[in-house]
Structure 1
Amino acid sequence: MPLISSKGVYGLMAMHELSKHKKDTPMQIKEISKNAQIPQNYLEQLLSKLRRAGLVKSVRGAKGGYILAQEPEKINIGEILSVLEDDLKIIDQRTQNPILNLFFDDAKANMKNYFNISLAKLDEYQEKYNEFLHYSI
């Protein structure tokens, strides 16, 4: 069982695209889809879920599209994943062993803490990636 499914990965990719876009200018679905390489019909479903959760806003009209509902610094990656995944899981079921159940509960809490960073923090990974490209050339 994957920790994060394609829903979570694609949704996070879409949110990252929106965070890089001008905050007062809506980004159209076809542009997000193209930039993030997400199938457009799948992206519509994900953005709908993110909109209902109050993480993005939709703007109607010819120049409409989607914008972040808050500044990227105020949007938590764990919150995005929880909305899309319903729940982040390490395992799907409880075991007969109470010790292992406690261990898995702790591991889940630690995993949620790991994802307790803002969407804006992804910019640091962009910097790491740029450094990697610089050194690998």
Structure 2
Amino acid sequence: MPLISTKGVYGLTAMYELSKHEKDTPMQIKEISSNANIPQNYLEQLLSKLRRAQLVKSIRGAKGGYILAKDAEDIKIVDILIALEDDIKIIDSKTQNPILNIFFDESKESIKKMFDVNLAKLDEYQDKYNEFLHYSI
């Protein structure tokens, strides 16, 4: 079982799309769906969870859509994943072995620390991707 489900990957992708969009201009769900290649019905469910977690805001009206609730620098990837996945899990339940339970708990905390970076940090990976494209041409 993967550590992060499709729900987490799609949600993080949608949040990244929103972080690249003009700050105060709402992005319509069909645009996010198209750019991120996420089924629109599924995306609506994810954005609803992210709204309840106060990570995005929805704006009503003809020019409405979604915006980040805070600056990308103030949104942690771990918070996005926990909002969507309910928690980051290594295993589904405790084992009968207390030693392994301690190991799995510590592993979970290490993984949370790994994802304890802000959404804006993903821009660095865009730079790496651009470098890759430049050198592969």
- TM-score range with shorter-chain normalisation? over 0.9
Aligned AA (2:136): S
Quote the Cα distance in structure 1 between the aligned partners of 2:51 and 2:78: 16
Instruction: Report matched runs for 1:10-25 at 5 Å.
Output: 10-25=10-25
SS, match of residue 87 in structure 2: coil
Query: TM-score, length-normalised on structure 2?
Result: 0.98
1:53 paired with 2:41, answer no
SS, match of residue 32 in structure 1: helix
CA RMSD of aligned residues (A): 0.6
Q: How many residues align?
A: 137
Residue in 2 aligned with 1:29? 29
What is the Cα deviation at residue 132 of structure 1? 1.2
SS, match of residue 91 in structure 1: coil
Quote the Cα distance in structure 2 between the aligned partners of 1:94 and 1:29: 39
Deviations 1:70-112 (A, max 9, x none): 0000000000000000011111121121111111111000000
Aligned AA (2:116): N
SS, match of residue 58 in structure 1: strand
What is the Cα deviation at residue 2 of structure 1? 1.4
Please, which runs of 5 or more residues in structure 2 have no aligned partner? none
Aligned AA (1:11): G
Quote the Cα distance in structure 2 between the aligned partners of 1:97 and 1:53: 34
Please, which runs of 5 or more residues in structure 1 have no aligned partner? none
Q: Which runs of 4+ in 1 moved over 4 A?
A: none
Quote the Cα distance in structure 1 between the aligned partners of 2:136 and 2:109: 36
Quote the Cα distance in structure 1 between the aligned partners of 2:80 and 2:113: 14
Deviations 1:42-92 (A, max 9, x none): 000000110111100000100100000000000000000000000111111
1:99 paired with 2:103, answer no
SS, match of residue 117 in structure 2: coil
